[in-house]
Amino acid sequence: MRDIILSKMQAPPSITNSQKVRVIAPSGALREWERFEQGVKVWRDRGYELDIPSSLSQPYGYLAGTDQQRCQQLIEAWNDPECVAIACARGGYGSMRLLENLDWNQLSDRPKWLIGFSDITALLWGFAKHKRICGLHAPVLTTLANEPERSQQQLFDWLEGKNNSITLSGQGWENGKATGRLLPANLTIATHIIGTPLCPDLEGVILAIEDVAEPPYKVDRMLTHWRWSGHLQKIKGIAIGRFSQSEVSTPSLTMEEVWRDRLSDLGIPIVMHLPFGHDGENAPLPVGCLAEIDANNGTLSYKLA
């Protein structure tokens, strides 16, 4: 039976700035405490009550705690009836490990916003697949304060229901336009999700990808894996965000040359240089919302429907 997950998503209700938001660290150990506190301040300055556990990050090597500790944080935050959103402290690595043995029946079916990007892709896809709940691919607490005012405002306007439609502008490759359900992801994490129970059927989606510190040859390898898996052939359009810190000193194709070499023969609308990802403006991208990609005009538009 076809996986119909992305056509039957639940959008969490709008939140208000007097409500409780819980903070979790499901991935890498939190070491950027100053940037974390700056991100917390952004939320609190807007009136939100942030619940930060005293045991938020108990470094276990490169992780923010053992799998059991981090998983328990997630379960307690998700099942808290007073919590309307969960803000992830940072990315790094580790969220996929939580989902390997997670009993999804332990988690409430009540939708709430889960906010994060990069390594948090695994949680966003997991909740889409197993709970059919929209998450928000958006800044984590250690990156939020460095966001320009525009993207901060987009984030809170979306969460608070003040704006349910966003258009981002980039550079299109022509091939017209297409509509589908938006599926944002960090490319590395999404590549490792292929072939696991977390991977939804990608038939008809608009895939939005970004990454950091991955040189062009590694991006080539990942996209080649997507091609061989058959998943790229299902996708209706591709939105490419920022692939930062990807410079190499040895002879190499540029990142754009890799994208064109591996994707242009798909014959689908593709827009690159969109304002999301690491090290710059990171516009909020809701998982599973209705999206239109227009490669002639170089835009990605999406809205709650």
Catalytically annotated residues: 118, 210, 278
Are the C-beta atoms of residues 285 and 136 closer than 8 Å to each other? Answer: yes
